[in-house]
Chains A and B, each alone.
Chain A
């Protein structure tokens, strides 16, 4: 810390003991910390040694073959966007905050390398605090970025992990670098250029701790090609799978009645092997129709959760989709069978 022997008439920040200085930086937002770094050499050295937490809430990264854009947000609303663009002389950086923007040119530098360096720097100040969301959009993950993730001493702590990419093979380049301890929600999207309604192989993904600890899932732009038993632990979700069978749905229902909590799960399926009504009815019993003469769905079923005043509500829609949700017993129609 700044030398205490220097005598000044006024007491200022430079006179604060080290423990106080750490405390102040711990409570400053990341923009303030970065500005303090520019105030004096002593402060810069102190900040670079101490690496005070930035306490970011959201990190969003958007990569294309021409540029990388990063969005950093702490609890204040004025979040900057930084763009690292390919430029014929090197890397052009555009920082935008609200309506203002500044442009710099780093000659003979590659934009991916500059981005990776700065990302590493930011993440070195984001070690203990937990992000609300980390989202990455990249059709293809650059090798340099993979290296940065591999070299990170601690995994990224975030509650939501969201990734938009071209194929399933990119997911495992990034997902394992999220700390499973804090993950609550996983979201996977396909890049606009990927073929629609594609099947993605999630074999390695469903084996990961990150998949197993999250309890919310969103996958709606492609079909996940793994058996439904891999989805039992999600209490909330909106996902498309390759196929569902009556047995698998029965197991899923039993799972909600016995072990895993349910909020609401919506499942779409590709239905290459059609889901047969008679198989369903054999396992689930006769469905309930609000108006049997004018059916709006393929049937509804209600299952009481033992020892509670709640029920699992299962609806099979016509449009290759279904929903399980948790409802109060009072919401079960009086003429419906409560199983």
Chain B
């Protein structure tokens, strides 16, 4: 697979000396570099890297294609992982709602359109980044505050029961995989 890096490569500020960098290609052919500590936050990517046997020497020559995640989401994800790569492990919360406060930087990062946020969650789920998942879910959970069920239906893009029934009917009318 040959990819022309026609889109800008996201350069990431690196504070520690001699970082190992990996190259990731999104579904729409955007290329990202990400440091070793950051990429470890994604269980999926790190498993892939270990399985492919990528090392400091050959990492940049072997870009990793991620076909389920587009460039926009990947950019957010790379930013998040670089930001949090040296984080200490989060404490066990006995009451997440009470004890956990979303840092301002992350709140800003996740201040995006609701549908974009749901897209980001799907990408995060695929890449298995627990911390980002927790943060996104917190933002989604917080959205429900002080809203009526009607407002929530719109915010969360949930069809009404009637729409759901109609969808189900049209799905059962159309021939299924078995004909």
A28 within 8 A of B: yes
Contact A32 B158 (CB under 8 A): no
Bitwise interface map of A from 22 to 62 toward B, beta carbon under 8 Å scored 1, else 0: 01111111011001101111110000000000010100000
B141 within 8 A of A: yes
Measured CB to CB, the closest approach of chain B to A65, in angstroms, equals 35
Within 8 A of B (CB), among A90-107: none
Contact B164 A55 (CB under 8 A): no
Compute how far the CA of A42 lies from the CA of B163 in the bound complex, rounded to whole angstroms: 12
Compute how far the CA of A29 lies from the CA of B171 in the bound complex, rounded to whole angstroms: 35
Measured CB to CB, the closest approach of chain B to A100, in angstroms, equals 12
Compute how far the CA of A25 lies from the CA of B119 in the bound complex, rounded to whole angstroms: 18
Number of interface residues of B (CB under 8 A): 37
A5 touches which of B100, B122, B149, B171 (Cβ 8 Å)? B171
Within 8 A of A (CB), among B140-156: 140-142, 144-145, 147-149, 152-153, 156
Within 8 A of B (CB), among A132-161: none
A270 within 8 A of B: no
* Partner-contacting stretch, out of B12-20, B64-72, B130-138: B130-138
Which residues of chain A have C-beta atoms less than 8 A from B114's C-beta? 12
Would A29 and B157 be within 8 Å (CB), given that A16-B118, A39-B149, A55-B96 are in contact? no
Which residues of chain A have C-beta atoms less than 8 A from B161's C-beta? 40-41
Compute how far the CA of A27 lies from the CA of B134 in the bound complex, rounded to whole angstroms: 8
Contact B96 A26 (CB under 8 A): yes
Contact B145 A31 (CB under 8 A): yes
Contact B149 A35 (CB under 8 A): yes
A120 within 8 A of B: no
Which DSSP category, helix, strand, loop or mixed, fits chain A's interface?
loop
Compute how far the CA of A42 lies from the CA of B96 in the bound complex, rounded to whole angstroms: 25
Which residues of chain B have C-beta atoms less than 8 A from A6's C-beta? 164, 167-168, 171
Within 8 A of A (CB), among B85-109: 94-98, 100
Contact A35 B148 (CB under 8 A): yes
Compute how far the CA of A154 lies from the CA of B138 in the bound complex, rounded to whole angstroms: 27
A74 within 8 A of B: yes
Compute how far the CA of A137 lies from the CA of B86 in the bound complex, rounded to whole angstroms: 50
Contact A23 B149 (CB under 8 A): no
Smallest CB-CB separation from A182: which chain B residue?
B94
Within 8 A of B (CB), among A1-20: 3, 5-6, 8, 10-17, 19-20
Which residues of chain B have C-beta atoms less than 8 A from A42's C-beta? 164
Compute how far the CA of A130 lies from the CA of B92 in the bound complex, rounded to whole angstroms: 13
Would A24 and B159 be within 8 Å (CB), given that A11-B118, A19-B125, A75-B98 are in contact? no
Compute how far the CA of A36 lies from the CA of B145 in the bound complex, rounded to whole angstroms: 10
Measured CB to CB, the closest approach of chain A to B96, in angstroms, equals 6
Smallest CB-CB separation from B119: which chain A residue?
A11
Smallest CB-CB separation from A41: which chain B residue?
B161
Contact A12 B115 (CB under 8 A): yes
Bitwise interface map of B from 6 to 49 toward A, beta carbon under 8 Å scored 1, else 0: 00000000000000000000000000000000000000000000
B133 touches which of A23, A29, A41 (Cβ 8 Å)? A23
Compute how far the CA of A32 lies from the CA of B141 in the bound complex, rounded to whole angstroms: 7
Measured CB to CB, the closest approach of chain A to B101, in angstroms, equals 10
Which residues of chain B have C-beta atoms less than 8 A from A40's C-beta? 153, 158-161, 164
A12 touches which of B97, B157, B164 (Cβ 8 Å)? B157
Smallest CB-CB separation from B144: which chain A residue?
A32
Bitwise interface map of B from 163 to 178 toward A, beta carbon under 8 Å scored 1, else 0: 0100110010000000
Compute how far the CA of A69 lies from the CA of B134 in the bound complex, rounded to whole angstroms: 35
Give me 21 A-to-B residue pairs in the complex whose CB atoms sit less than 8 angstroms apart, sorted by A's number. A11-B122, A12-B158, A15-B122, A17-B122, A27-B97, A27-B137, A27-B138, A27-B141, A28-B144, A32-B144, A36-B144, A39-B149, A39-B158, A40-B153, A40-B158, A43-B158, A55-B98, A75-B95, A75-B97, A130-B94, A130-B95
Additional 19 contacts, C-beta under 8 A, given A39-B152, A43-B158? A8-B159, A10-B115, A12-B118, A12-B156, A13-B156, A14-B159, A15-B122, A17-B125, A20-B137, A23-B134, A24-B140, A26-B141, A27-B100, A29-B141, A29-B144, A32-B145, A55-B97, A75-B98, A76-B145
Nearest 9 A/B pairs, CB to CB: A12-B157, A32-B144, A28-B141, A13-B156, A38-B149, A27-B141, A75-B98, A23-B137, A55-B97
